Amino acid sequence: MLGPTIDKYAAPKNAYSLAFTLTPWFAWISILLFIGGIYGGLVYAPPDYDQGESFRIIYVHVPAAWMSMFVYVVMAIAGACGLIWKVKLMDAVARSCAPLGASFTLLALVTGSIWGKPMWGTWWVWDARLTSELILLFLYLGYMALQSSIDDRRTAARAGAILALVGVVNIPIIHFSVEWWNTLHQGPTVTKLDTPSIHVTMLIPLLIMSIAYTTFFITMLMVRLRAEILDQERNTTWVRDLVLGGTDK
């Protein structure tokens, strides 16, 4: 049952239609979650006993950092599926992920620097967590540069998939760097084996914002995927009919 369903939506035309249908649903869910998360982070959550009001940047920084790693893993898995099973849709998913992941990574680095200045007294240090996150940004940029430098889409997809898979080794380094090395960056407060060391009034808005970021990523992924499919299938009959018919589904 699952196999025929996957085969059905692996077809570019069906994938395009599905993405077109789901995009507004995820967009509205994302908007509502952002409203709830922002209210919770700015109003519901009390000031931190040590960092005061400045801690509230975590509601932007932490989900962005989580998403920077999550999107890279999605990109690598999609690239691997395209490389191994020659699924063109997965190549399009990987290409769609790269600029989104780079944006999340840049946001995490910028907000981390803004947070670090009052907390650490400096905008940047060559800390293990910060340095490995910067390397992640370079991996995203390298992937996009590689895709742009190769004219043949299949060759570009294979080269990008190999780069993405090699770069996966950086993900556990980012996650565990604060535990493996003596770093300036604080240790984990939510993703711990024991009870999270963050009060529930602060934790709930953080989790809501994390889900909001995830649904926003899914929304933008489907928007970019539709554009990738149209570009990839531009010489097919169904795309010509779509363009000439003046409809977007």
Give me the mean pLDDT over the 202-229 stretch: 97
In a domain, 56, yes or no: yes
Instruction: Supply the CATH number for residue 111's domain.
Output: 1.20.120
Give me the mean pLDDT over the 199-224 stretch: 96
Tokens of 117: 């200045």
End-to-end CA distance of the chain: 26
In a domain, 178, yes or no: yes
Residue 112: pLDDT over 60: yes
Give the predicted TM-score (pTM) of the model: 0.91
Residue 97: pLDDT over 70: yes
Contact partners, residue 33, CB within 8 Å, separation at least 6 = 208, 209, 211, 212, 215
In a domain, 8, yes or no: no
Q: What percent of the chain has pLDDT over 90?
A: 69
In a domain, 152, yes or no: yes
What is the pLDDT, as a whole number, of residue 2? 40
In a domain, 4, yes or no: no
Q: Give the pLDDT confidence of 15-60 residue by residue, as tens digits.
A: 999 999 999 999 999 999 999 999 999 999 998 877 888 889 999 9
In a domain, 14, yes or no: no
For residue 82, what are the domain limits? 22-243
Specify the number of domains making up the chain: 1
In a domain, 49, yes or no: yes
Tokens of 183: 């770093």
Tokens of 63: 């989900």
In a domain, 133, yes or no: yes
Give me the mean pLDDT over the 147-156 stretch: 94
